Amino acid sequence: MSQPPRHTALDALHRALGATMTDFAGWDMPLRYGSERDEHQAVRTRAGLFDLSHMGEITVTGPRAGEALDYALVGHLSALAVGRARYTMICAPDGGILDDLIVYRLGEQEYMIVANASNAQVVLDAVTERAAGFDGAAVRDDRDAYALLAVQGPQAPGILKSLTDADLDGLKYYAGLPGTVAGVSALIARTGYTGEDGFELFVAPGDAERLWQALTEAGAAAGLVPCGLSCRDTLRLEAGMPLYGHELSTALTPFDAGLGRVVKFDKPGDFVGRQALEAAAEKAAASPPRKLVGLIAEGRRVPRAGYPVTDGSGAVIGEVTSGAPSPTLGVPLAMAYVDAAHAAPGTAGVAVDIRGAQEPHRVVALPFYKRER
Amino acid sequence: MSINPQNLRYSKEHEWLSAPADGVATVGITSHAADALGDVVFVQLPEVGAAVTAGETCGELESTKSVSDLYSPVSGEVTEINQDVVDDPALVNSAPFEGGWLFKVRVSDEAGELLSAAEYDAFIAG
């Protein structure tokens, strides 16, 4: 049954800016404002401003909040320092990935989970159910409590500094602190999904427009432009970052996705999926299944999600999960799951079946792009 | 005011066709189609001398998000392709009715279903 799309607090502003909108996980979101390649380059070289209010926030509070999250998620969240963030996952009992998450520890007894829009309900339901056995851990649906704006790119720190007294220099990557930006109360986090330095700002929806305008004005001289989800996808692809529904799914464990490091077997207590994930870890070590690799096209046709990867003669050895023309490298790129025998960087003869033609591709290690620090 | 030139005719697959001069007409895609595609990064055109058939695919356009088939609005023989647009596919976005033209065709047959500018305006207004 299809529901009417949801609109973020910045919807009127996007329309006034002439954005091309798209349905994304039930939300009407900006796909691009002008040229998505220009937006991509702005983030790589200057700064871009994103509305990410579709992301789903879930707050867990109480003296046993950390313990409940250790049980509900695969990470060791009770060990996370206050003010820090962690990339983690929530798995089904069979080890399949329900979602990938960022968890912020906002206080001794307060955590915020940020889930993908498409999975937010699943994550909320699972965390609520799994935390139910912990007296002293309360789960709150905060999806409507926040708008989320992101400022990403090398100029992002300078732009944000002009609007806040918060100690941004002391704010490390994957850390977050409460502060005031342009007179608006915000959780300021040094996170992103672009491969660049940058910040994500969680604010009350009623403050979103004021903050957007302040960032637009403060960033104008530095070349900040509004950016849509289209360039966000090519930015994360170049940075080799997985996207749920593409590189991650319920059919895969974190080990299948090459992200076994997020599973913390040595944390105290049991957690959902432990047994299945231990088996998955052993299997991945003994006989690696398909591996997630990077592919760079030799030609100009673009490998797209779902296209078969072949050994060049047509025998299928894998599948493309994400693909796009790369604005930074100027060639088509893809991430793909490929049989371990063909997954080593430099493996010869690998092709992608692009609508019937075997187009040669080079196997490379991820990421395709890494910023200079 | 329509942005679709009055002197062109249009297919429902969003190609435009110029009035033939000495039997040869120019083919491109409309600005409506170019906007919907987003930044075009690669165009694959039919070869000079190739026969194209009205309503059938004769090439493809790759944009950031997707690949789209290029349909020929008429039948005939390709006499020229736009090398500029092969070298710089962004011309399809910046000048779809001018420098972003795709190929020229010696028209042997029109399917008879091409739209006037006014009809195409109404068609894309849906």
Residue-level pLDDT at A288 = 79
Contact flag B66-A304 (C-beta cutoff 8 Å): yes
Rounded mean pLDDT of chain B? Answer: 94
Cβ contact A37:A233 at 8 Å: no
User: Is A178 found in the same domain as A122?
Assistant: no
Binding site residues of A, as ranges?
200
Q: A301, B65: Cβ pair inside 8 Å? A: no
Q: What is the pLDDT of residue B111?
A: 65
Question: In the structure encoding, which two tokens stand for residue A219, read together?
Answer: 């960033």
A4 lies in a domain?
no
- Domain membership of residue A67 as a residue range: 54-137+253-287
CATH number of the domain that residue A155 is part of = 3.30.1360.120
Does B18 contact chain A (CB < 8 Å)?
Answer: no
d(CA A296, CA A352): 10
Spatial contact of A91 and A74, defined as CB atoms under 8 Å apart = yes
Report yes or no: A234 and A61 within 8 Å, Cβ to Cβ: no
Q: List the single best residue of A20, A37, A38, A359 to mutate versus B (max B Cβ within 10 A).
A: A37
**Together in a domain, A48 and A59:** no
Same domain, A282 and A297: no
Note whether A48 and A94 are same-domain residues: no
Given A35, A300, A302, which is nearest B39 (Cβ)?
A35
Are both A28 and A163 inside the same structural domain? yes
| A192 and A86 within one domain | no
Residues of A with CB under 8 A from a CB of B: 20, 31-32, 35-37, 230, 234, 300-302, 304, 324-325, 332, 355
Task: Work out the number of other CB atoms within 10 angstroms of the CB of residue A34.
Answer: 17
CA distance A238 to A335: 9
Q: Is residue A244 in a domain?
A: no
- Answer yes or no: is A2 within a domain: no
Q: A35 and A74 in one domain?
A: no
Rounded CA separation A218/A212 (Å): 10
Domain total in chain A: 3
Residues A192, A337 within the same domain: no
DSSP A84: B
Tell me the average pLDDT across B25-46: 96
Helix (H, G, I), strand (E, B) or coil at B1: coil
Query: Do A296 and A275 sit in the same domain of this protein?
Result: no
Q: Which amino acid is at B87?
A: D
Query: Is the per-residue pLDDT at B1 higher than 60?
Result: no
Max Cα–Cα distance, chain B, nearest Å: 38
A217: which residues sit within 8 A by CB, 6+ positions away? Answer: none
Asked if residues B60 and B68 have their Cβ atoms less than 8 Å apart, the reply is yes
In a domain, A102, yes or no: yes
The tens place of each residue's pLDDT in chain A, 373 residues long, gives: 467 899 999 999 999 999 999 999 999 999 999 999 999 999 999 999 999 999 999 999 999 999 999 999 999 999 999 999 999 999 999 999 999 999 999 999 999 999 999 999 999 999 999 999 999 999 999 999 999 999 999 999 999 999 999 999 999 999 999 999 999 999 999 999 999 999 999 999 999 999 999 999 999 999 999 999 999 999 999 999 999 999 999 999 999 999 999 999 999 999 999 999 999 999 998 887 799 999 999 999 999 999 999 998 889 999 999 999 999 999 999 999 999 999 999 998 999 999 999 999 999 999 999 998 7
Q: Tokens standing for B43?
A: 């165009």
Residue A133 sits in a domain whose CATH number is 3.30.70.1400
Residue at A3 is within a domain: no
Distance (Å, whole) CA A15 – CA B54: 38
pLDDT for the residue numbered B2: 66
Residues A151 and A49 in one domain: yes
Q: Could you tell me the sign of the dihedral formed by the alpha carbons of A64, A88, A278, A266, in that order?
A: negative
DSSP A9-67: TTHHHHHHTTPEEEEETTEEEEEESS-HHHHHHHHHHSEEEEE-TTSEEEEEESTTHHH
**Domain co-membership, A258 together with A232:** no
CATH number at residue A343: 2.40.30.110
Q: Do A294 and A369 belong to one domain?
A: yes
Residue B94 touches partner A, C-beta closer than 8 Å? no
- Sheet harboring A198-203: ordered strands across? A176-181, A184-189, A198-203, A147-152, A47-51, A224-226
Beta strands in chain B (DSSP E): 8-10, 15-18, 24-29, 40-44, 51-52, 57-63, 67-71, 74-81, 103-110
| CA B119 – CA A134 distance, rounded (Å) | 66
Q: Is B82 left (phi over 0), alpha (psi -120 to 50) or beta?
A: beta
ipTM over 0.85: yes
Asked whether residue A118 is assigned to any structural domain, the reply reads yes
> Who's near B3: CB < 8 A, 6+ residues apart?
B31
Class of domain B10-112: mainly beta
Residue B76 burial (C-beta neighbours within 10 Å; 0-12, 13-18, 19+) = buried
Tokens read off for A190: 């040094």
- For an interface test with A, the pick among B31, B35, B39 (most A C-beta atoms closer than 10 Å) comes out as B39
Q: At A14, give phi and psi (nearest 5°).
A: -60, -40
CA of B64 vs chain A CAs: smallest distance (Å): 6
- Is A305 part of any domain? yes
Other CB atoms within 10 Å distance of the CB of residue A330: 9
Establish if A6 belongs to a structural domain: no
Listed in sequence order, the residues at least 6 apart from A158 whose beta carbon sits closer than 8 Å to its beta carbon are: A222
Closest chain A residue to B42, measured at CA: A300
Could you say which residues from 26 to 45 on chain B have a Cβ atom under 8 Å away from some Cβ of chain A? 35, 38-39, 41-42, 44
User: Which residues in chain A have their CB less than 8 angstroms from residue B64's CB?
Assistant: 36-37, 230, 234, 324-325
Q: Does B66 touch chain A (CB under 8 A)?
A: yes
Type of residue found at A130: R
